[in-house]
Structure 1
Amino acid sequence: MSFSSISEYQAHRDELILADRAQRADHKKGQLSELEARADKVVRDVRAFEAATIWTREYQGVPHPFPGMEFLTGRSIIVQTELFKILEKMPKGALLHAHLDATVNVSHVIKLAMKYPAIHVRASTALNASNIGSVLPELLPLPEELRSSAGQVSLTDSKYTPGTWVPFNRARESFDPQLGGPEGFDQWITAAATINPTEAYVTHNTVTKIWQKFQSTFRVNAHMIRYRPLHKEYIREFILSSIADGISYVEPRINFVLGEIRPFISADGLSHVPHREILQDFDEVLNDVKAELKAQGREDEFIGARIIYTTLRFITPENLELHLQECIALKKEFPHLIAGFDLVGDENVLKPLTYYLEPLLKFKEMQKEAGVPEIPFIFHGGETLGDGTEADMNLYDAILLGTKRIGHGFSLVKHPKLIEICKEREIAIEVCPISNEILRLTSSMHMHPLPILLNQGVHVALCSDDPSVFGNMGLTFDYFQVLAASEITGLIQLGEMAKDSIKFSSLEQEGKDRALAIWQKRWEKFLEYVVAEGQRVLAKGSAN
C-alpha cells in the first residue's frame, strides 16, 4: 500500500484503528452524549496527570512504582490517588463472582468474634518472636459445657499447653506486649487470613505455592465465620459494605459440603446447621437490609442478592450427585435465592469437569423431574497458565455443559473458537483481575488478558473473587487497576462492564430492566460528579 501524502496515511491509520477497536463495548455504544464525552475526557486527563506525578515519586518499600503495578505493593499508593476517590463513587452494577467466606474485612471479623464468648482459639505451640510468623491460629466456637475447661494461660506464655483452647478475648487481652499485645494478636490473625506482598511476590513464587497459602486462609477462618450467630452478622456486613462501594446486586458463591468439612455450626456449638437454615438466614438478613434502606429512602441503592450453590472439586461423582439433589431441593424451597451451581477449588490440581460428567449431564433431567425452575451452571474455568492442561480444557466442558457465565476464563484468549462461541451464545466472563495477579497468573495489570477479551467484544463483568484475602474490598480497586493500566480503556468502557454485570446476572428480565434503569440514573449523576471533581483536581494540579 502506498500513500500520496501524510494526510492520506493518517486517514488510513485512523480507519485501521477504528476497525481494530470496533468490537469493543465502548465503541459499539456509538455517539456519546456531551456529558459522557466530557466525563470520559476528564478521567483520562486525571489518569495521565497522576501517572506523571503520583506514580513517578519515590515511595519507601515500593520500588519502581507504576500504574497497574502489582496490587499488594501498590495499594498504599492507589488509595492516595484522586482517580481512586472518583471511582469509589461509581455505580458498579453487580458483583457476580465472590466467595462469601472471603468477602468481609478481617478487622471486622475480629470485632465480630469478640462479641461471642463461644469463640476460642488455639495454637500448635506457645507463640514467640521466632515462630509467630509460621504458627497458624485455629478458631472454633465451643459448646458452653466445654468452655469452663478451656485454658486461661496466654498463647504467648511459655507455660501454654499446645492445642489448648483459650477464649478469644482472653487470648487477645493476654497477648505478650513484646509481640504487640492485643494489636499483635489481631495482626497474627490477620496475617494468617490474608496474603501479604512478600508471600505473593517473593516466597510463594509459583501458582502451586501461592494457592497453598491462599487455601490456608480459609482453614483459619472457616469455623469462626460459619458459627451461625456470627455468620448472620457476616452476611449483613458483606451486603452493607458492597452497597457502600456502589454495588447494587450480589451473587456470592457459598460452599456447601455434605459431611464434616467446614460445617455451619449452631448457636450452642453442639450441632451442624442444615443448609436450608443457612438460606433462611441469608433471606432474613437480605430482607432486613432492604427494609432498612427503604425506610431511609435508599431502596434504589440495592436491588437484591442471590447465591450460587458451590461445592468442592475433590468430592466423588457420587457425592456430587447428592449435592445436586440438595441444590434442587433448596431451589424448590428458595426459588428466589438459588442463582446457579458451580464447582470450586484449584483447577490446576483438583478434579476437572470431565471427572464429574455423569452427574452433571443428569442435572437438567433431575431438575425437570423435580419441577423446579432452571438452575444454570455458572462454572469456574480456565483459571490457569496452562495450555491444553486439564484446567485449560475445563473451558470446553463448561461451554458444552451450557454454562451461563465463566468464572475467571483466564486462558480463554488461547481459544479463538471458544471466544466466538462466548460471543454467539452471550456467555459473559467473570474477570477477577487482582485475584489473577496475586495468585501469580500475571505479574501486573499490563500483562492481564482482559484487553484481548474487550477488544474482541466478549462480555465482561469485573469481580473481586476473595476480597478479604487480597485486600480489594468492594470493586473499586479492580476497576482502578483496569483503568490505570490502559490507554484505551476509559470511563465509558467501565460503565459498559458495570451494565454487563447486571445484564448477565441471574435476575429475571423485569428485574434486570429495573436494575439497569436505576443504574442509568445513578450513572448520570456520577458523570456530573466526575466532571466537577475531575476539573477541580486538574485545576489544583496545574496550580501546583
Structure 2
Amino acid sequence: MSAITIPTTLAGYEASRKELIMTDRAQRADYKKGELSELEALADKTIRQVRRAEAESIWSLEYGGIPHPFPGMEFLTGRRIIVQTKLYEILGKMPKGGLLHAHLDATVNVSFLLKAAMKYPAIHVRASTALDATNIGSVLPQLSALPEELRTSGDFALTDSNYPSGTWVPIAKARETFDPQLGGPEGFDRWLTAAMTINPTEAYVTHNTVTKIWQKFTSTFVVSAPLVRYQPIQKEYIREFILSSIADGISYVEPRINFLRDAIPFVAEDGQRPLTHREVLTDFQTVVDDVKAELRAQGREDEFIGAKIIYTTIRFITVEELEWYLQDCIALKKEFPDLIAGFDLVGDENVLKPLTYYLEPLLKFREMQEKAGVSEIPFIFHAGETLGDGSEADMNLYDAILLGTKRIGHGFSLVKHPKLMELCKERGIAIEVCPISNEILRLTSSMHMHPLPVLLNQGVSVALCSDDPSVFGNMGLTFDYFQVLAASEITGLIQLGEMAKDSIRFSSMDAEEKSRALAAWQRRWEAFLEYAASEGQKFLAQVGA
C-alpha cells in the first residue's frame, strides 16, 4: 500500500482501514508469524478477554482509599494488585525461554539472602552510630564476612544507646538483640531489607531524578554484595536463582557477573582469603551441573537447558585497568569455553565513562582473543539506558553497534534512531528490554510510556528481562511479561511467545542447544496454550464476562 486513497463508501473505508492497520503492524513478530493455529487463536482471544475484564473491574477499584487507575501503572505501587489478578496467575505458568539480562548479585529475594546469612558465624554487621527511631531510616548497615580472629561475641546491640560506633556484631546476635521498640528481630529484617531494595516512596517521590534513584540503586549493591560474594552463601544463592527461575518458566539463564579486583571481593569460607575468579566460575558451574543432574533424575531435564555468564566490570575503571579485565576474561574463556558468553561494561551510563573512553582496548579485544587461541567472546553491551538524545549515554548506541555488540542491554533511547533500529534488524542484534527496571529507575512513568511498542512495531527483536529483581521485587519474568501485556491493546499472548522464542534464538547457546531449547519450549508452549484457554474461560464464566 504505497499511497492512501480516501475511500468514498463505507465498505471501501472499512477495507482501507483494515489494510492500513495491517500494513502498519506488518513488521511485528506476531504478525509475521502468519496464520494462527486454532489453539493459538483461542488462547490469545481468551487472554485478551481476561485482560479486558480485569481492566474494567480490578483496576477500577480503590484499595485503602488509593485509586489504581490503569493496568501497567507504576510497578511498585501496583504490585500488590498485580499478584491478585487472574492474568498474572496464568502468565506464571508460561514458558518464558531465556533470561538474558540479569545481574547475578541482584537475582534472589532478599528474604532468602538474609535467612542464609544467619547460618554463618562469619557474617557480621555494624552501623555508623547506635540505631534509634530518629535515624533508622537513614543509617545503612555494613555487612562483612570476617576471619575468625576478628569475629566478636556481640557484647553490644546495634540499638543500645552505648553501642560503640562501627563495632562489628554477629548478624544473628544483632537480629536477636534488636530493640523491640524498633520492631525486634522483624524490625532488624526490615532495616536490612530497606537497605537492599527500592520502595515506592524512594522510586516515585524522594529520589525524583535519574541521578538520585541511581544513587539509591547503587547503594543496595554496596550493602548486599558482602553477603552474596561470601562463598558458602553465593553457592546457595546461585542455586536459588536457578531454581526460582525454573519455577517461573525460565529454561536458560545468562547472568552478568561483576568482577572488580579492589572493591567488594569474592571471599572464601574462612572470611579472609579472596576467591580467584577461576574459583567463582568453578562454583557457578558446579551448581549448574548439580541442578541439571537433579532435574534429569526427576525426568524434568527439558525445564532447564543450562546457564552461561557475561563477564562484566564497571565503567569507572581506567583504560589500563580495562586491559587487565579483558585479559582476565580471555584467560577464563580458555579454561571455561562453554561458560563465558560475552563481555560488558556496566554502571550508570549517564555519569560514568562512555564506550568511546575505552575504544583503544576494546578495538584490540578481538586480536587479543586470536592471539590467545580462544573462541570468540562477543561484546554484549549496555547502551542507551538513558533519557538523553545525543548525550554520551545515548551515543553509546552508535559505538556498541560499531564495536559489533551481539545484543544491546536496555537500548531505551534506541527508538530515537531509525537507522540504528534498521541496523539491529539487518545484523540480528536483539534488545534486552527491562520494562520494570526502566520504570523504577525513572526512564518512564509507566508501561504505557515505554518505547517497547515502537521496537516491536519496527520489527526489532526483543527479549524481555528483569535486570535486578531482588532490588525491584520483580522476581522471575512473570511481572515483566504482565506489565507488557497489561499495558497494550495490541500485544497479546502470541507476541509474548515470540519474545520468549527470541530469548532463545538470540542467546549465547550453540546451535544444538538452541535447537533443543526451542523444541522443549514449543512442547511446553502447546501445553500452556491449552491451560491459558481453559483457565481463562473458567474465569470469564465466573465473572460473567
TM-score, normalized by length of structure 2? 0.99
* Distance in 2 between residues matched to 1:427 and 1:391, nearest whole Å: 19
Within the alignment, does 1:161 sit opposite 2:194 as a pair? no
Identical columns (%)? 77
* Distance in 2 between residues matched to 1:270 and 1:390, nearest whole Å: 40
* Matched position secondary structure for 1:280: helix
Match of 1:290 among 284, 289, 292: 292
Q: Which whole-Å deviations, capped at 9, do the CAs of 1:92-147 have from their partners, x for residues lacking one?
A: 00000000000000000001001111100000011111110000000001111111
* Distance in 1 between residues matched to 2:28 and 2:513, nearest whole Å: 26
* Matched position secondary structure for 1:121: strand
Report if aligned partners of 1:152, 1:170 keep a CA contact under 8 Å in 2: no
Q: Which whole-Å deviations, capped at 9, do the CAs of 1:158-209 have from their partners, x for residues lacking one?
A: 0111100000000001111111111110000000000000000000000000
Q: Which whole-Å deviations, capped at 9, do the CAs of 1:8-29 have from their partners, x for residues lacking one?
A: 1010000000000000000000
* Distance in 2 between residues matched to 1:120 and 1:3, nearest whole Å: 75
Match of 1:179 among 171, 175, 182: 182
Pairwise CA distance, 1:61: 6.2
* Matched position secondary structure for 1:157: coil
Pairwise CA distance, 1:3: 2.2
Within the alignment, does 1:433 sit opposite 2:438 as a pair? no
Within the alignment, does 1:408 sit opposite 2:420 as a pair? no
Q: Which whole-Å deviations, capped at 9, do the CAs of 1:31-66 have from their partners, x for residues lacking one?
A: 000000000000000000000000000112643431
* Distance in 2 between residues matched to 1:254 and 1:364, nearest whole Å: 21
* Structure 1 residue identity aligned to 2:123: I
Partner of 1:45: 49
* Matched position secondary structure for 1:208: helix
Partner of 1:192: 195
Structure 2: state its 5+ residue gaps. Answer: none
Q: CA 1:61/1:335 → structure 2, altered by over 3 Å: closer, same or farther? A: farther
Match of 2:477 among 475, 485, 490: 475
Structure 1: state its 5+ residue gaps. Answer: none
Within the alignment, does 1:74 sit opposite 2:78 as a pair? yes
**Alignment RMSD:** 0.8
Q: Which whole-Å deviations, capped at 9, do the CAs of 1:395-427 have from their partners, x for residues lacking one?
A: 000000000000000000000100000000010
Partner of 1:118: 122
Report if aligned partners of 2:126, 2:158 keep a CA contact under 8 Å in 1: yes
Partner of 1:104: 108
* Matched position secondary structure for 1:308: strand
Partner of 1:270: 272
Query: Where does 1:15-26 land on structure 2 (aligned, <5 Å)?
Result: 15-26=19-30
Partner of 1:245: 248
* Structure 1 residue identity aligned to 2:253: V
Query: Where does 1:61-460 land on structure 2 (aligned, <5 Å)?
Result: 62-148=66-152, 151-258=154-261, 260-460=262-462
Query: Where does 1:27-38 land on structure 2 (aligned, <5 Å)?
Result: 27-38=31-42
* Distance in 2 between residues matched to 1:183 and 1:460, nearest whole Å: 41
Structure 1 ranges of 4+ moved more than 4 A: none
* Distance in 1 between residues matched to 2:21 and 2:273, nearest whole Å: 63
* Distance in 1 between residues matched to 2:268 and 2:307, nearest whole Å: 24
* Distance in 1 between residues matched to 2:66 and 2:281, nearest whole Å: 44
* Distance in 1 between residues matched to 2:144 and 2:237, nearest whole Å: 16
Q: Which whole-Å deviations, capped at 9, do the CAs of 1:466-502 have from their partners, x for residues lacking one?
A: 0000000000000000000000000000000000000
Partner of 2:62: 58
* Distance in 2 between residues matched to 1:101 and 1:129, nearest whole Å: 30
* Structure 2 residue identity aligned to 1:135: V
* Distance in 1 between residues matched to 2:273 and 2:512, nearest whole Å: 41
* Distance in 2 between residues matched to 1:156 and 1:299, nearest whole Å: 49
* Distance in 1 between residues matched to 2:533 and 2:115, nearest whole Å: 39
* Distance in 1 between residues matched to 2:198 and 2:6, nearest whole Å: 55
Within the alignment, does 1:11 sit opposite 2:15 as a pair? yes
Report if aligned partners of 1:127, 1:157 keep a CA contact under 8 Å in 2: yes
Partner of 1:540: 542
* Distance in 2 between residues matched to 1:239 and 1:217, nearest whole Å: 22
* Distance in 1 between residues matched to 2:34 and 2:538, nearest whole Å: 28
* Matched position secondary structure for 1:90: coil
* Matched position secondary structure for 1:309: strand
* Structure 1 residue identity aligned to 2:250: I
Report if aligned partners of 2:60, 2:67 keep a CA contact under 8 Å in 1: no
Report if aligned partners of 1:332, 1:372 keep a CA contact under 8 Å in 2: yes
* Matched position secondary structure for 1:242: helix
* Distance in 1 between residues matched to 2:100 and 2:6, nearest whole Å: 49
Pairwise CA distance, 1:4: 2.6
Q: Which whole-Å deviations, capped at 9, do the CAs of 1:257-303 have from their partners, x for residues lacking one?
A: 12x20100111111210000000000100000001111111111000
* Distance in 2 between residues matched to 1:238 and 1:387, nearest whole Å: 36
* Distance in 1 between residues matched to 2:14 and 2:512, nearest whole Å: 47
* Distance in 1 between residues matched to 2:50 and 2:407, nearest whole Å: 34
Report if aligned partners of 2:154, 2:173 keep a CA contact under 8 Å in 1: no
* Distance in 2 between residues matched to 1:317 and 1:537, nearest whole Å: 58
Q: CA 1:482/1:296 → structure 2, altered by over 3 Å: closer, same or farther? A: same
